[in-house]
Copies of this chain bind each other. A is one copy, B any other.
Amino acid sequence: MSGNSVGEICRITTFGESHGEALGVIIDGCPSLLEIDTDFILHELRRRKPGQSSITTERNEDETFEILSGVFEGKTTGAPIAIIVKNTNQKPEDYDELKDIFRPSHADYTYEKKFGIRDHRGSGRASARETVARVLAGAIAKLFLRQHDISVQAYVSQIATIKVEQHYSELDLSLTEQNIVRCPEQSIAKKMITLIEEIKLQGDSIGGAITCVIKGVPVGLGEPVFDKLHADLGKAILSINACKGFEIGSGFEGILMKGSEHNDSFTVHSSQSTESPDLITTSNHSGGIQGGISNGMDIYFRCAFKPVSTIKLEQETVNKNLQNVQMKASGRHDSCVLPRAVPIVEAMAALVLTDHFLRNKIYSHD
């Protein structure tokens, strides 16, 4: 009800403020007997970590985690899994100057009005640091999906005007992690990095797009009507800080096609495997989802991130006393969140897939 939980069956609840004692997540409804690979969780956490490269913030957040419950002798027990990350090296006094200011395009004003109180230290609950909890839960979800041969992989497909022109299927996504901007097309990646560095020098910020591809999804995930698989993916992705748009399959481009071009024709699957769907489609403008339900083809979507609000340039704004003031961010911040948003997008997608995988088990007639 308060928006800190997502998922129906495998339901996560995140908690914690940027500069509070700890951030964490409860994963409730994870099936028992899943082996927990803590190295993998740490790996995921480090993909989101600030200070990991020259184009991200230099802040060096503590990135170790503790599993408090739900895992016994290396396996999940079916009980809620609580994972926390302690906040260390908090310097809340760094944020004292922001105590009374409503920063442009931040959540300061809306939180203050909604709750009548606001933990202003590093944006408190509204900080992108909250996504640590999402990545932890997403790592568990990925371990679950891996068991079922489902993979989730995202990459940066656009930074400002610099765009990967190819369709995801023409790219080698295994190259994504080979550069610090997380773009599988190396020449484009270089241009993106150069641009981000320029913007950083200017003290400004810049946005972009991430494309995410989910492979190995069985037919049948997603529910008709309101909980269509892409609707739940859309909500999960739009809930990430700074995300402003979501499109599935052909998305906004699909507007420009005729039905006769856009329709995905069915054909019999040549594979003899009983695991495979019996049909495939010859094109995939649907993005792997028809009538809200997965059809066994790749699911892919794209999402837009605005330029982050925190910039080092001077800006006009208003304080709590309704006085006009000028401000300039002084801390260490990302000029472009896209590279670090890649694991967050994957985490949210993995959580939605896990939840719908389990939802679909209920009605299975096997």
Closest chain-B Cβ to A74's Cβ sits at a distance in Å of 10
Cross-chain contact A28 with B9 (CB below 8 angstroms) = no
Interface flags for A190-220 (1: CB within 8 Å of B; 0: not) read: 0000000001000011111100000000011
Q: Is A119 an interface residue (CB 8 A)?
A: yes
Neighbouring B residues of A1 by C-beta, 8 Å: 8-9, 11, 28-29, 223, 359, 362
**Contact A255 to B158, CB < 8 A, known contacts A117-B77, A225-B239:** yes
* Main SS class of interface, A: mixed
Cross-chain contact A209 with B255 (CB below 8 angstroms) = yes
Cross-chain contact B231 with A33 (CB below 8 angstroms) = no
Interface residues of A toward B: which range?
A: 35 or more
Which single residue of chain B is at the shortest CB-CB distance from A218? B113
Q: Is A331 an interface residue (CB 8 A)?
A: no
Per the 8 Å Cβ criterion, residues 250-278 of A in contact with B are: 250-252, 254-268, 277-278
Cross-chain contact B291 with A106 (CB below 8 angstroms) = yes
A109 to B114, CA, bound (A): 34
A322 to B279, CA, bound (A): 8
A248 to B315, CA, bound (A): 24
Per the 8 Å Cβ criterion, residues 69-104 of A in contact with B are: 69-70, 72, 75-82, 84, 102, 104
Cross-chain contact A79 with B246 (CB below 8 angstroms) = no
Cross-chain contact B255 with A2 (CB below 8 angstroms) = no
Cross-chain contact A315 with B21 (CB below 8 angstroms) = no
Partner of A251, one of B84, B113, B244: B244
Neighbouring B residues of A250 by C-beta, 8 Å: 244, 306
Cross-chain contact B21 with A69 (CB below 8 angstroms) = yes
Give 7 closest A-B pairs by Cβ, nearest first. Answer: A107-B291, A3-B223, A3-B227, A205-B259, A245-B247, A235-B235, A110-B293
**B-binding residues in A (CB < 8 A):** 1-6, 8-9, 11, 13-17, 20-24, 26, 28-29, 31-33, 66-70, 72, 75-82, 84, 102, 104-107, 109-111, 113-119, 124-126, 130, 158, 160-161, 199, 204-209, 219-220, 222-228, 230-232, 234-236, 238-239, 244-252, 254-268, 277-279, 281, 285-287, 290-295, 304-311, 313, 315-318, 322, 324, 358-365
